[in-house]
Chain A
Amino acid sequence: MRLAIKKRASRRGRGAGPSPGRADSGAMDEARPLWATPLQFVFACLSYAVGLGNVWRFPYLCQMYGGGSFLVPYIIMLTVEGMPLLYLELAVGQRMRQGSIGAWRTINPYLSGVGVASVVASFFLSLYYNVVNAWAFWYLFHSLQDPLPWSVCPLNGNRTGYDEECEKASSTQYFWYRKTLNISPSIQESGAVQWELALCLILAWLLVYLCILRGTESTGKVVYFTALLPYCVLIVYLVRGLTLHGATNGLAYMFTPKMEQLANPKAWTNAATQVFFSLGLGFGSLIAFASYNEPSNNCQKHAVVVSIINSSTSIFASVVTFSIYGFKATFNYESCLNKVILLLTNSFDLEDGFLTVSNLEEVKSYLASAYPSKYSEVFPQIKNCSLESELETAVQGTGLAFIVYTEAIQNMEASQLWSVLYFFMLLLLGIGSMLGNTAAILTPLTDSKVISSYLPKEAISGLVCLVSCAIGLVFTMEAGNYWFDIFNDYAATLPLLLIVLVEAAAVCYLYGLRRFESDLKSMTGHALNWYWKAMWGGVSPLLIISLFVFYLSDYIITGTLQYQAWDASQGQLVTKDYPPYALAITGLLVASSTMCIPLGALGTFIVRHLKRGDTASVA
């Protein structure tokens, strides 16, 4: 069955179909594996695009930039920037039927560097992204204990109290920083590799290898799970979240629009950035996935569908997140009130149960007037409990997933079940995105005739996974989380903007928009809408340029880069400066993918020059 479909593709490629007119038609003679159904392709793009960022970045942005009103810049940026660029990448991949390196070399030989830059960026991304899956595995394995290990503090030496670090921070923070990461006080102190985390990382890479082992054949089946199951879990969580006590506080807080935020330029740039990175543009994964399509596939429809579903998932996930935020904030607020009540009851020896939440204020004023001296002694310890301030603690990233969520889960009934479900969902989202990341690296490698003649596909995948796993062990060291933050913030941000800018400019101006339009028409049979042409030619590149300028100016203005380090003695995060060698590595990260573009052009120029020189001398 599989073989039959392969042969059909090669026949069509040889006879009919537009040829780019270069030697690459030879690549199409090789039987290219295809998705069994277009649905697999859509699911693959979905499971790649819908990742952890939808769950832990979008709710944070929503909270920071005006709640319901953030949706306005988000949807505008989606239609103006997200959908056109997604369609562009899918169209390029489907048209060229090769991975990113081959595809851009086909468009223009001087652009082979763009493909290499994509592969390098994808490589960096998969290095650190799988560490998150390792963390999810760790928490998943620890969820099957009663009580949950992050809900109780361990005892101190003589068993009279709890561990000091755990008392100062909270039990969930202690479990994350001490038990999971065993974090060192600064990035300079690397510490040893944590063998437990290293095992989880190896398991994560094995699982990824299992899924990509057979190329589209295995990936195509796995994406059914990684695309659909997270939605099942999200729906279950939605029902649970909405029925939690205090959930409506969080939802009301999120959805009350703060219209003044629309005037904040940061809201717009963050919306643009979120759309850009959420869809995973520029890594080459979308080109790789689309290259396994039938040429007549209607990728315009798929682009629109994927981007809409991706954004809806973000909004859906933030509804769930905010109902859980509301529950956690209400729980903390009520605990705070109970602590105040206990303090007053004990200091003034009032009858147990006399002080309640409703009469707290009047009793406080009564006590202040009746026993002024004693009240003034107790007064500094009375915390001002506020639901607003609890709701305002906005967290993003790993902090949200592994600290805030676990804190909320530990207070639910049947917390083991919810914990298992939650980390299983994180794992699915992470593995789904990893499939795309590795596809971006492997597709150009398997397309290249040099490499695939020596090694079968399974060996290439195995080698890539092995190398990434070995390098990824750096992130399991005690200072690993600091390096993770460096990679997360710098490895795949600025270079991507440049890559996508060059891609859009290349297709429109180097290859020619008309030529691309006619290619697409003969390939799919549909004419290209004027909207896409306007976006590709003008609006989207302008947006990317302005984003690029904004980021550069932001980096330059802030001067030295700083990071948050965990201070065990205080039980909280402190800000520190990066040492010079860390800054150097950061610069190297950004440069290594960005420099590929000009270096690739230079390399092609030199090779051509040499060839011309040879032919001239021969003639």
Chain B
Amino acid sequence: MLWLLFFLVSAIHAELCQPDAENAFKVRLSLRTALGDKAYAWDTNEEYLFKAMVAFSMRRVPNREATEISHVLLCNVTQRVSFWFVVTDPSRNHTLPAVEVQSAIRMNRNRINNAFFLNDQTLEFLRIPATLAPPTDPSVPIWIIIFGVIFCIVIVATMLLILSGIRQHRRKNKGPSEMEDTEDKWENTVKIENGIPCDPLDMKGGHVNDAFVTEDERLTPL
């Protein structure tokens, strides 16, 4: 009698949890990809933890607080590691609708991932899309700040150059009248000492006679 009951129960369970059954989800883990050498083996204890996490997620849904670990059924565990699971209601005859299970898992995805040291890519729930993390958008885009800094530097440098150019212009306009007189004097007077004409400033070679150069702006070498 007991054997018959046992077979009946496992038969029902088998019907409820099957690949591509109604309200069943396939889960795929990539332990070696995620953890490399530190990958743990997937055994029945890990399955128990998984069932516990799913039950925990279902208990957080209103009206489903009575979900127990035994209500979560796993089947078709492969070497991959992948398996299918369903969540049954307390009567163990029907499976909970896929929509409910989906939303429950999505809300608690982070907790489930962390329990197994995995992430959204290495612990996949097929047909349950993960909510992707939104990109962090600072209130002021960073690029505008950098742009503003460089823009201000360039404007300030331009202003400085323009102003110093205007100042140089004004000084040049004051200067030329005096400089032209000195040049004409040098050109016309040729001093003669001891019968030898001497050029105090050598006009042909273009050398600068350092003795006469006091300020670079006022006296120009010829």
Report the bound CA distance from A4 to B219 in whole Å.
8
With a cutoff of 8 Å between Cβ atoms, the chain B residues found around residue A168 in the complex are none
Of A8, A144, A214, A351, the contact of B146 (CB 8 Å cutoff): A144
Q: Report how far A353 CA is from B35 CA in the complex, Å.
A: 11
**A346, B80: Cβ atoms under 8 Å?**
yes
Over the window 152-163 of chain A, the binary record of Cβ atoms lying under 8 Å from chain B Cβ atoms (1 yes, 0 no) is 101100011110
* Cβ-based interface call for B97 (8 A): no
Which residue on chain A has the smallest CB distance to residue B219?
A4
**Contacting residues of chain B (72-96) with chain A, CB-CB under 8 angstroms:** 78-82
Does A501 belong to the interface (CB within 8 Å)?
Answer: no
Inter-chain CA distance A458–B28, complex, in Å, is 69
Within the complex, which residue of B29, B129, B206 is in contact with A352, where a contact is CB–CB below 8 Å?
A: B29
How near does chain A come to B34, taking the closest CB pair, in angstroms? Answer: 9
> A141–B146 contact, CB under 8 A?
yes
Whether B161 sits at the interface, judged by CB under 8 Å, is yes
Query: Residue A213 at the B interface, CB < 8 A?
Result: yes
Q: Are B220 and A159 in contact (CB under 8 A)?
A: no
Q: Is B32 within 8 A of A352, CB to CB?
A: yes
Cβ–Cβ contact A353 & B147, under 8 A: no
Measured as residues with beta carbon below 8 angstroms from the partner, the interface class of chain A is 35 or more
Q: Does B31 contact A (CB under 8 A)?
A: yes
Give the size of the chain B interface in residues (CB under 8 angstroms).
Answer: 39
Contacting chain B: which of A83-91, A104-112, A203-211, A586-594? A203-211
Does B135 touch A at the CB level, under 8 Å?
A: yes
Asked if B78 and A349 sit within 8 Å, CB to CB, the answer is: yes
- Of the candidates B142, B143, B158, the one whose C-beta lies within 8 Å of that of A206 is B158
Are the CB atoms of A210 and B134 closer together than 8 Å?
no
The A-contacting residues of B in range 112-146, CB under 8 angstroms, are: 129-132, 134-135, 142-143, 146
| Given the contacts A4-B220, A352-B32, A352-B81, A155 and B165 also touching, CB distance less than 8 Å | no
Please name the residue on chain B nearest to A210 by beta carbon.
B158
Cβ contact within 8 Å between A210 and B161: yes
Q: A454 to nearest B CB, angstroms?
A: 15
Q: Which residue of chain B has the shortest Cβ distance to A351 in the bound complex?
A: B79
Any A CB within 8 A of the CB of B216 = yes
Complexed CA–CA distance, A19 and B188 (Å):
25
A-B contact count (CB 8 A): 96
Contacts of A206 in B (CB 8 A): 151, 154-155, 158
- In Å, the complex CA distance between A237 and B80 comes to 42
B135:A349 contact, CB within 8 angstroms: no
Residues in A with CB closer than 8 Å to B29 are 352
Inside 8 A of B82's CB, which chain A residues have their CB?
A: 346, 349
Instruction: Provide the bound-state CA to CA distance between A162 and B135, in Å.
Output: 11
Shortest CB-to-CB span from A226 to chain B, Å, is: 15
Instruction: Find residues 204-239 in chain A having any chain B CB closer than 8 Å to their own CB.
Output: 206-207, 209-210, 213-214, 218
Could you say which residues of chain B place their CB within 8 Å of the CB of A3?
A: 172, 216-217, 220
Task: Tell me if A178 is interfacial: C-beta within 8 Å of chain B.
Answer: no
Residues of A189-212 at the interface with B, using a CB-CB cut-off of 8 Å, are: 199-200, 203, 206-207, 209-210
Given the interface pairs A206-B158, A210-B157, the reply to whether A352 lies near B33 with Cβ below 8 Å is: yes
B222 touching A11 by the CB < 8 A rule? yes
Q: Does A456 reach chain B (CB closer than 8 Å)?
A: yes
- Do A199 and B147 have beta carbons less than 8 Å apart? yes
CB within 8 Å of B: which A458-494 residues: 458
Known: A206-B155, A458-B162. Contact between A200 and B129, CB under 8 A? no
- A207 to B217 Cα, complex, angstroms: 30
Task: Say whether A155 contacts B134, CB under 8 Å.
Answer: yes
Contacts of A209 in B (CB 8 A): 158
Contact assessment for A154 and B135 in the assembled complex, using a CB-CB cutoff below 8 Å: yes
Q: Is residue B60 contacting chain A, with contact meaning CB distance below 8 A?
A: no
How many whole Å from B24's CB to the nearest CB in chain A? Answer: 16
Segment 25-45 of B: residues with Cβ below 8 Å from A: 28-33
Is B169 part of the contact surface with A, judged by Cβ < 8 Å? yes
Please state if B154 and A7 are interface contacts (CB–CB under 8 Å): no
Centre residue among A141, A159, A207, A350 by max chain B CB count within 10 A: A141
Q: How far is the CB of A402 from chain B (nearest CB, A)?
A: 15
Q: Is A4 touching B221 in the complex (CB atoms < 8 A)?
A: yes
What string of 1s and 0s marks CB contacts (under 8 Å) between A322-364 and chain B? 0000000000000000000000011001111100000000000
B198 on the A face (CB < 8 A)? no
> A1 an interface residue at 8 Å Cβ cutoff?
yes
Q: Which residues of A contact B190 (CB under 8 A)?
A: none
Q: How far is the CB of A288 from chain B (nearest CB, A)?
A: 20
Q: How far is the CB of A463 from chain B (nearest CB, A)?
A: 14
Chain B, Cβ-Cβ closest to A218: B161
Assess the B79–A160 pair: CB atoms within 8 A: no
Q: What residues of A have a CB within 8 angstroms of the CB of B146 in the complex? A: 141, 144
A245 to B217, CA, bound (A): 60
Q: What would be 24 A-B contacts, judged by CB atoms less than 8 Å apart?
A: A1-B216, A4-B208, A4-B220, A8-B220, A8-B221, A141-B142, A142-B142, A144-B146, A145-B142, A152-B135, A155-B132, A162-B132, A200-B147, A203-B151, A206-B151, A206-B154, A206-B158, A210-B154, A214-B161, A218-B161, A349-B78, A352-B32, A352-B81, A458-B165
Q: Which residues of B contact A (CB under 8 A)?
A: 28-33, 78-82, 129-132, 134-135, 142-143, 146-147, 150-151, 154-155, 157-158, 161-162, 165, 169, 172, 206, 208, 216-217, 220-222
In the complex, given contacts A159-B131, A352-B30, A458-B162, what are 6 additional A-B residue pairs having Cβ atoms less than 8 angstroms apart?
A: A3-B217, A155-B132, A155-B135, A161-B129, A351-B80, A352-B80
